[in-house]
Structure 1
Amino acid sequence: MGRRNKNQLFEGVKVVDTASKGKSVAKTDDGAIIFLTSGVPGDVVDISTYKKRKGFYEGNIVKFHKYSEHRTEPVCEHFGVCGGCKWQHMKYDSQLIFKQKEVTENLKRIGGIELPELEPILSVENPYWYRNKMEFSFSNQRWLTKEEVESGVDINRNALGFHKPGMWDKIVDVNECHLQADPSNEIRNFIRSYALENEIAFFDPKNKAGFLRSLMIRTTSTKEVMIVLQIFNKNEKLLVPLLDAVAEKFPAITSIQYVINEKANDTIYDQEIICYGGTDFITEVMEELQFKITAKSFYQTNSLQAYELYKVVRELANLQGDELVYDLYTGTGTIAQFIAQKAKKVVGVDVVPDSINAAKANAIHNKIDNVFFETGDMKAIFTEDFITRHGKASVVITDPPRDGMHKDVVNQLLELSPDSIVYVSCNSATQARDLSLMKAKYNVVASQAVDMFPQTHHVENVVLLKKI
């Protein structure tokens, strides 16, 4: 079978593994590699390719000969369209298997790490309804199905939902999302219905016009709810009746806020947030700690599993009460405060001033007096002045973004040379890369994967390093 053209048909091919970004990998009998978006390991399929790269193809499944034992029926009507739950067609137990496999292979292959015996990945009790934050976009450019396009009927194009993958200007109109518990779906559907009935303009992403831009819904394990409505321009005749209607329909909402954003993009971190009703924050609880969460605050989006993750961090740190701990990329200081009782002193560092301000406020609220927070560039934080102010840490906890730690941060850590490092990561590939830079001086003595995001390929991993 020739394979020079990118549009090829491969028949009876077995899907053999998962890949990055939620994709799967198929392999033909003569060794051709094909990346798919909807396969499950164990499927036997016919594949039509649409792109040829050096060493592999990309394609779509056009026929099933055999369904994998790992496969299940997705529960969401929007599966495969909105792109949010790429593994919903895989049984949850199987998702855990492949997440654990990915972490292990990344640490071994990329990091060159000799791994200790691993504990099983920590699963979640309920693989649905777990997210505490969702962001939905308004658009007058709703994504249409093929049937709708071909119908020739004049169709309402307004939508409130998620961006269609690969189509920045198209929004998939969402009826029910299975990731955030009610009243999330009820609030979103009510606001959309109200806007349609009252002919309020949805945002036009191409012409930068319209009124309604986005809707953020945040919830807590204590049943508090925040909504943040983003609008394109100030028009109180449209805004006030809408927010009043939401408050009347959902009196249990804790916080109603809005933001006027006339920029080209939807980011609100440089915008003023206006509190319309209730408080300007909601409160999450973890053990005896309380964390005030604002519209701009970072907080782990799975509250219940965040607690399990932090318990892993605390256990691996194995603090005895006399340690000085640095908490890098501290965000709003949740880990720093969670471990504070076990340490003599904790110093949290983050580059975002708003996060550090929130961390300080939460520490005061929780009456924790042995945590200190500084705003600083992580690549330059371990100066002599910093160490003189706080002392030299014997334990470092680091929880960087998906890109991992900058090599300068790794070098600073090696120079600081703490006795132990607890490395929390949402990307085991970049974590493994960083670990490979430290393995001459540190051994990996424990590694624990934690599933934070069921129905997706994402997985957290916590590694304990001990100085050789």
Structure 2
Amino acid sequence: MSRKMKNKVITNLKIEKIASEGKCLGYHDEKVVFVTGVAPGDVVDVRITKGKSSFMEGEPVKFHEYSKERIEPFCAHFGTCGGCKWQHINYDLQKTYKRQQVLDQFQRIAKVPIPEVMPTLGSEKTKYYRNKLDFTFSNKKWLTLDQIRSGEEFDRNALGFHIPKMFDKIIDIEHCYLQGNISNEVRNELRAFALENQITFYDIRNQVGLLRNLIIRTTSTGESMVIVQFGENDPESIKVVMEFLNQKFPEITSLIYVINLKGNETFHDLELVTFAGKDFIEEEMEGLKFRISPKSFYQTNSEQAYELYKVAREFAELKGDEVVYDLYTGTGTIANFVAKKAKQVIGIEYVEAAIEDAKLNSKLNGIANTLFYAGDMKEMLNEEFIANHAKPDLIITDPPRAGMDEKVVEMLLRLEAPKIVYVSCNPATQARDVALLAEKYDVVKIQPVDMFPQTYHVENVILLSRKAQ
């Protein structure tokens, strides 16, 4: 079926509605057709890229009618860079679609009674809202078809984002609307300096080249962290690059580098060197200070993270005498945020460096009623752990996109805490976990929160209440 349908063009397909992962859908011969890069109301010709017995996937090759809901994308890289796939949809509609995504996932996957899904809590900033971006250096810059056909010679070095589904092709980013402050300046100045001084960009296939990766983190308090990842151990050249950044941008709070000779860009197991400034930056929320180290996770939309945590705290309805378990606590942001309204908060997190930050964050803020433990959640949260700690009155869980391990869900069912506040960046895995928890819990509140404007991603907070015995 797939070979027969591939590259077939369906003409005049009416796009009916938004589907998952930012795609939209229409219907052809009683089959669903998922299409990228379109909006509900568009009428398009679609080239099929995948065909199955029950559905097809495709991409638009010609527009006959444009949706009334369309707006003009503001970024020159839209359509090539895969970062902001909803720039062509107005923001109010984005929020509506995100709420619908949550509803669809719970109806399709959880299949349990749910209350009305509340309107998506929107972000005040729809541009320049991220506090962290990763850029990749490459000697395999993405060229457009027009550039290739021109026959001209183009410099193939690039600093930007990966082209979707092409691990070795990088689109050279001139201006990114996701992160403000000094982000665009640092990236563009470093690229220009490297080109001028003939410093090698990384070749991911052959794993050679000095400049490999650039991470820029910022805070709402004006601090910044810049991490340069080098693909070769060349002390002299590394010093040249780092001194350039230090002199060009003295305002950088934390200037760090790491030498990575591995086959992937992860550096949690590598030594980081602080070249200038501090080895951390600080974020602030409701008077609380949170220290963020290079290996720590922190929500990438600082202002909206505050709104997210306020929802979680509101759902918790803490009175002051409760024991709270904060699972997947990260740097203890939620744990410390709710600690003043609880008797005790116990946080568990896999990343040891994050737990050290969580402990330090409690100390910095004079919070004495928190405990933090590092370890694999499914191994840590066991009968022995429960026996050595008070049983929870409330569980807050904020797992990664994959959701909670089934062993963790089983333990939650055994613990039978009166309430669970489940924060998720993936409503599909959240709904899957809710289907398992439904044995003992009812869903009583659902609040989508938009952390990522211009994208299809949505954060979701739900309140689960233990069923009457």
Partner of 1:21: 21
- The answer to whether the Cα contact below 8 Å between 1:382 and 1:416 also exists between their aligned partners in 2 is no
Which deviates further from its counterpart, 245-254 or 127-136?
Answer: 245-254
2:276 pairs with 1:277:
yes
Q: Percent identity?
A: 52
2:243 pairs with 1:244:
yes
Q: CA deviation at 1:4?
A: 4.9
TM-score (normalizing by structure 2): 0.97
In the TM superposition, what are the counterparts of 1:399-414 in structure 2 within 5 Å?
399-414=398-413
In the alignment, the residues of structure 2 paired with residue 233 and residue 51 of structure 1 have an alpha-carbon distance, to the nearest angstrom, of 40
- The answer to whether the Cα contact below 8 Å between 1:410 and 1:438 also exists between their aligned partners in 2 is yes
Structure 1 pair 206/383, CA: closer, same or farther in 2 (3 Å)? closer
In the alignment, the residues of structure 2 paired with residue 136 and residue 300 of structure 1 have an alpha-carbon distance, to the nearest angstrom, of 18
Q: CA deviation at 1:267?
A: 0.8
2:413 pairs with 1:391:
no
Partner of 1:38: 37
Amino acid of the residue matched to residue 8 of structure 2? Answer: Q
Q: CA deviation at 1:376?
A: 2.6
Amino acid of the residue matched to residue 7 of structure 1? Answer: N
Q: CA deviation at 1:404?
A: 0.8
In the TM superposition, what are the counterparts of 1:278-317 in structure 2 within 5 Å?
278-317=277-316
Structure 1 pair 436/5, CA: closer, same or farther in 2 (3 Å)? closer
- The answer to whether the Cα contact below 8 Å between 2:382 and 2:411 also exists between their aligned partners in 1 is no
Structure 1 pair 343/25, CA: closer, same or farther in 2 (3 Å)? same
In the alignment, the residues of structure 2 paired with residue 107 and residue 385 of structure 1 have an alpha-carbon distance, to the nearest angstrom, of 34
Amino acid of the residue matched to residue 241 of structure 1? Answer: V
Amino acid of the residue matched to residue 131 of structure 1? Answer: R
Partner of 2:419: 420
Amino acid of the residue matched to residue 449 of structure 2? Answer: V
In the alignment, the residues of structure 2 paired with residue 350 and residue 276 of structure 1 have an alpha-carbon distance, to the nearest angstrom, of 29
Q: CA deviation at 1:247?
A: 1.9
- The answer to whether the Cα contact below 8 Å between 2:224 and 2:252 also exists between their aligned partners in 1 is yes
Q: CA deviation at 1:224?
A: 0.6
* Residues 219-260 of structure 1, C-alpha deviations (whole Å, 9 max, x = no match): 000111110000112323322232222222222111111001
Cα root mean square deviation, aligned = 1.3
Q: CA deviation at 1:384?
A: 3.5
In the alignment, the residues of structure 2 paired with residue 262 and residue 118 of structure 1 have an alpha-carbon distance, to the nearest angstrom, of 47
Partner of 1:110, secondary structure, is helix
Which deviates further from its counterpart, 334-343 or 438-447?
Answer: 438-447
* Residues 63-92 of structure 1, C-alpha deviations (whole Å, 9 max, x = no match): 212211221111111111111111111111
In the alignment, the residues of structure 2 paired with residue 139 and residue 404 of structure 1 have an alpha-carbon distance, to the nearest angstrom, of 33
Q: CA deviation at 1:392?
A: 0.5
Q: CA deviation at 1:428?
A: 0.7
In the alignment, the residues of structure 2 paired with residue 207 and residue 437 of structure 1 have an alpha-carbon distance, to the nearest angstrom, of 45
**Structure 2: where are the runs of 5+ without partners?**
none
Q: CA deviation at 1:198?
A: 0.5
In the alignment, the residues of structure 2 paired with residue 376 and residue 168 of structure 1 have an alpha-carbon distance, to the nearest angstrom, of 31
In the alignment, the residues of structure 2 paired with residue 154 and residue 118 of structure 1 have an alpha-carbon distance, to the nearest angstrom, of 54
Amino acid of the residue matched to residue 11 of structure 2? Answer: E
- The answer to whether the Cα contact below 8 Å between 2:70 and 2:88 also exists between their aligned partners in 1 is yes
Structure 1 pair 268/382, CA: closer, same or farther in 2 (3 Å)? closer
Amino acid of the residue matched to residue 211 of structure 1? Answer: L
Partner of 1:347, secondary structure, is strand
In the alignment, the residues of structure 1 paired with residue 393 and residue 295 of structure 2 have an alpha-carbon distance, to the nearest angstrom, of 32
Partner of 1:226, secondary structure, is strand
Q: CA deviation at 1:420?
A: 0.4
Partner of 1:149, secondary structure, is helix
Partner of 1:451: 450
In the TM superposition, what are the counterparts of 1:321-336 in structure 2 within 5 Å?
321-336=320-335
**Structure 1: where are the runs of 5+ without partners?**
none
Partner of 1:71: 70
In the alignment, the residues of structure 1 paired with residue 236 and residue 107 of structure 2 have an alpha-carbon distance, to the nearest angstrom, of 60
- The answer to whether the Cα contact below 8 Å between 2:344 and 2:369 also exists between their aligned partners in 1 is yes
* Residues 352-388 of structure 1, C-alpha deviations (whole Å, 9 max, x = no match): 2111111111111111100000123222334343223
Partner of 1:208: 207
2:6 pairs with 1:10:
no
In the alignment, the residues of structure 2 paired with residue 437 and residue 236 of structure 1 have an alpha-carbon distance, to the nearest angstrom, of 53
Partner of 1:125: 124
In the TM superposition, what are the counterparts of 1:67-466 in structure 2 within 5 Å?
67-466=66-465
In the alignment, the residues of structure 2 paired with residue 220 and residue 149 of structure 1 have an alpha-carbon distance, to the nearest angstrom, of 40
- The answer to whether the Cα contact below 8 Å between 1:6 and 1:57 also exists between their aligned partners in 2 is no
Partner of 1:182, secondary structure, is coil
In the alignment, the residues of structure 1 paired with residue 76 and residue 207 of structure 2 have an alpha-carbon distance, to the nearest angstrom, of 30
- The answer to whether the Cα contact below 8 Å between 2:39 and 2:89 also exists between their aligned partners in 1 is yes
